[in-house]
Amino acid sequence: MWRWKGIYCGDLTALYNKKGYVNRSEAIRDLVRDALLRHVWDEDEQIAAGSILLFYNHHRRNLMEELTNIQHEMHDQIMATTHFHLDNDHCLEMIIVKGKPNEIQRLSNQLTSLKGVDYGRLTLAPLNSI
């Protein structure tokens, strides 16, 4: 297995096989596109849309109130929310967002850093192409 700038070629091959890319070039194209989008979002005012997924234990004291308060404070970025009961203790909340990426990232950071949130994930896509 050969190595290029700290990355084993086998790692990239495993990635493109796992994700179903036709070849390495397609996988690299998507990685570069993602890096470019992140760079542009740091410096641009373009609008993006996406989702914030939160997995949490709803028995955690004051968590539901804190989640609600943050969402009300940032209501301009929130288009919709959906709440799922995964089992007796755990919930999944999906929050659909739209706005400037830095503001959405701030919202996501506030939500995912709350005590009792087990996992959070922000996914964004630009509304206009780069």
The CA distance from 4 to 13, in Å, is 13
CA gyration radius, the chain: 18
Tokens of 76: 């301009």
CA distance 73 to 130: 30
Distance CA(102)–CA(108), nearest Å, equals 10
The binding site for Ni(2+) comprises 72, 83, 85, 91
Mean pLDDT, the chain, integer: 82
Read off the amino acid at residue 92.
L
**pLDDT tens digits, residue range 7-63?**
555 566 676 666 676 666 777 777 676 666 665 555 567 888 999 999 999 898 899
Q: Tens of pLDDT along 110-125? A: 999 999 999 999 988 8
Q: Which stretches of the chain are assigned E, i.e. beta strand?
A: 3-4, 7-8, 48-57, 78-85, 90-99, 117-126
What CA–CA distance (Å, rounded) separates 84 from 46?
A: 31
pLDDT for 5 beyond 90: no
pTM of the model: 0.71
- The pLDDT tens digits for 84-110 are 999 999 999 999 999 998 899 899 999
Question: What residues are designated binding site?
Answer: 72, 83, 85, 91
Q: Per CATH, is 48-126 categorized as 3.30.200.20?
A: no
